[in-house]
């Protein structure tokens, strides 16, 4: 899962970003409203953590522009204000949840997980390819009837493959969806994780599903 954090306070954004990466998410950060809106409109993120008070353009304006542009990405608003009127304004503007500063990081993660589960349930309850099944709501992966345990990054990689069966995915495409904007796609980390995933998905299987397209990238397909 790839998240966007729009927060101008460097200490706060660093705290959130570092913690979310440790939880296995790919995280991009914007420090001002205009950059945040531009990145939000790209629609490559699964969820946006959006501060209300931002330089250049405030969070409420970003939210309204997103919804006006039919960007349905879930948004978790952050603010130091806690009165009911402000919460109602944010939710009416299109926010999916609201968290008041200061907050415990565990609560932030719990709210993010809840919003992502809701999104998974609404958009794509179960993904299937050949005898491979991925259930985003329960975060379960099966090959046939055998359950496969994946790390957070392996799961994110498989999720991207299963959203694009039969499509050749370049390293640049994989890095931009599974890692983040600053990731160097020329390193061998992507190849390492694809190999990790192959061992768990295809090892000891007659029919391999993850294939290398030499000089280009990888593809999920049946032989």
Identify the sign of the CA torsion 133, 160, 6, 189: positive
Domain boundaries, the chain: 2-122, 127-220
Tell me the CA end-to-end span of the chain in Å, nearest whole number.
28
DSSP per residue, 64-113: HHHHHTT----EEEEES---HHHHHHHHHHT-SEEEESS--HHHHHHHHH
Place of tokens 């699964």: 46
Instruction: Answer whether residue 138 shows pLDDT above 80.
Output: no
128 to each of 156, 159, 172, 206, 216, how far by Cα in Å?
15, 10, 25, 18, 25
Assigned token pair, 130: 């050949």
In Å, how far from its chain's centre is CA 109? 13
Backbone angles phi, psi at 213, to 5 degrees: -105, 100
- The mean of the pLDDT values for the chain is 87
Question: Checking DSSP bridges between strand 75-79 and strand 97-100, what pairing results, if any?
Answer: parallel
The predicted structure's pLDDT at residue 123: 58
2-122 — its CATH code?
A: 3.40.50.2300
Residue 29 and residue 138: Cα distance in Å, rounded? 28
Task: Give the tens place of pLDDT for each residue, 70-89.
Answer: 888 999 999 887 667 777 77
Residue 186 and residue 67: Cα distance in Å, rounded? 35
Task: Give the tens place of pLDDT for each residue, 148-161.
Answer: 999 888 988 999 99
The predicted structure's pLDDT at residue 89: 79
CATH fold group of domain 127-220:
Arc Repressor Mutant, subunit A (1.10.10)
- Please give the DSSP secondary-structure letter assigned to residue 165: T
pTM of the complete model: 0.60
The predicted structure's pLDDT at residue 215: 87
Evaluate whether 176 touches 42 at the Cβ level (below 8 Å). no
In Å, how far from its chain's centre is CA 139? 14
- b/e 91-123 (16+ beta carbons within 10 angstroms → b): eebbbbbbbeeeeeeeebbebbeebbeebbeee
The predicted structure's pLDDT at residue 176: 76
């Amino acid at each position: 899962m790839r998240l966007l954090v729009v927060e101008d306070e460097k200490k706060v954004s660093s705290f959130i970003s570092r913690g979310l990466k440790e939880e296995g998410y790919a995280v991009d950060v914007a420090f001002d409203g205009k950059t945040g809106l531009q990145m939000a409109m790209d629609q490559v993120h699964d969820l946006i953590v959006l501060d209300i008070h931002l330089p250049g353009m405030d969070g409420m304006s970003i939210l309204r522009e997103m919804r006006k542009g039919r960007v349905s990405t879930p948004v978790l608003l952050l603010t130091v204000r806690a009165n009911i009127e402000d919460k109602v304004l944010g939710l009416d503007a299109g926010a999916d949840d609201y968290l008041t500063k200061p907050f415990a990081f565990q609560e932030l993660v719990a709210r993010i997980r809840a919003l992502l589960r809701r999104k998974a349930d609404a958009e794509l309850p179960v993904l299937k390819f050949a005898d491979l099944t991925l259930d985003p709501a329960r975060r379960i992966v099966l090959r046939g009837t055998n359950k496969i345990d994946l790390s957070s990054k392996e799961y994110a990689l498989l999720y991207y493959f299963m959203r694009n069966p039969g499509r050749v995915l370049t390293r640049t495409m994989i890095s931009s969806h599974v890692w983040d904007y600053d990731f160097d796609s020329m390193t061998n980390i992507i190849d390492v994780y694809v190999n990790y995933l192959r061992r768990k998905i295809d090892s000891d299987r007659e029919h391999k599903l993850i294939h290398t397209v030499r000089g280009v990238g990888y593809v999920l397909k049946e032989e």
